[in-house]
Amino acid sequence: SQQGEEDPQALSIQEGENATMNCSYKTSINNLQWYRQNSGRGLVHLILIRSNEREKHSGRLRVTLDTSKKSSSLLITASRAADTASYFCASSYYNQGGKLIFGQGTELSVKP
């Protein structure tokens, strides 16, 4: 399986703190994406980083990519209770034709 790994599996923080989630992938990628899933809902696309990029920002989100380590991190700054959700990374692998393979996810709980 090329399913990547995410850590931590669960993260609990206070409102206002920063949350960092990590994702590792297996082989060469076209891009890596992050999604959020609220309880009982579908996944929502947050941000995409291409294999030739090292860092991207979108609002309070910052994503980094280290292709030498085959890893990515998602940082949520100044977290809010509404950020409570599961976060998934998804890799678009060259050898899989580019289809997205999702990691197991990180469950984030932000306490008010």
Partner 1 sequence: DAGVIQSPRHEVTEMGQEVTLRCKPISGHDYLFWYRQTMMRGLELLIYFNNNVPIDDSGMPEDRFSAKMPNASFSTLKIQPSEPRDSAVYFCASSKELQGAYGYTFGSGTRLTVV
Residue 88 lies near partner 1 (rule: CB under 8 A): yes
Applying CB under 8 A, does 42 fall inside the site for partner 1? yes
**Residues between 20 and 39 that touch partner 1 (CB under 8 A):** 30-31, 33, 35
Comparison of 22 and 102: residue with beta carbon closer to partner 1: 102
Nearer to partner 1, 45 or 111 (CB): 45
Structure tokens at 69: 């380590």
* SS3 assignment for the chain: CCCCEEECCEEEEECCCCEEEEEECCCCEEEEEEEEECCCCCEEEEEEEECCCCEEEECCEEEEEECCCCEEEEEECCCCHHHCEEEEEEEEEHHHCCCEEECCCEEEEEEC
41 lines the binding site for partner 1 (CB under 8 A):
yes
If the CB atoms of residues 4 and 110 are measured against partner 1, the closer one turns out to be 4
Cβ(2)–Cβ(102) below 8 Å: no
Minimum distance from residue 109 beta carbon to partner 1 (Å): 17
Size of the site for partner 1 (CB under 8 A): 23
Q: 15 vs 104, which CB is nearer to partner 1?
A: 104
59 binds partner 1 (CB under 8 A): no
